[in-house]
A = this chain, B = another copy of it.
Amino acid sequence: MTIAFIGLGNMGAPMAHNLLKAGQAVVVFDLNNATVQELVKAGATAATSPRDAASKADQAVITMLPAGPHVRAVYENDDGVLAGVAKGVPLVDSSTIDPLTARHVIDTAAAQGNPMADAPVSGGTGGAQAGTLTFMVGAEPALFETLKPILGYMGKNIAHCGGAGTGQVAKLCNNMLLAVQMAGVSEAMALGVKLGMDPKTLAGVINTSTGRCWSSDTYNPWPGVIDGAPASRGYTGGFGTSLMLKDLGLATEAAKQAGQPVMMGGAAHQLYQWFAASGHGGEDFSAIVKLYSQQG
Contacts and interface: CB of A to CB of B under 8 A. Distances in A.
A32 interface: no
Contacts of A194: 258-260
B191 A292 contact: no
Considering the complex of A and B, which 8 residue pairs feature the smallest CB-CB distances, nearest first?
A213-B213, A180-B184, A261-B274, A177-B211, A177-B188, A174-B211, A261-B273, A173-B188
B267 A267 contact: yes
B161 A205 contact: yes
Interface stretch (A2-10, A227-235, A247-255): A247-255
A181 interface: yes
Interface in A256-283: 256, 258-271, 273-274, 276-279
Interface stretch (A19-27, A68-76, A196-204): A196-204
Question: How many copies of the polypeptide does the oligomer hold?
Answer: 4
14 contacts: A162-B196, A165-B196, A170-B192, A170-B202, A176-B187, A184-B264, A187-B263, A187-B264, A191-B255, A212-B213, A259-B273, A260-B273, A260-B292, A264-B264
A261 B255 contact: no
Interface of A: 99, 122, 134, 136, 157, 159-163, 165-166, 169-170, 172-178, 180-181, 183-185, 187-192, 194-198, 201-202, 204-206, 208-216, 219, 249, 251-256, 258-271, 273-274, 276-279, 291-292, 295-296
Nearest to A246: B256
A21 to B, nearest CB: 24
B205 A262 contact: no
A172 B263 CA distance: 21
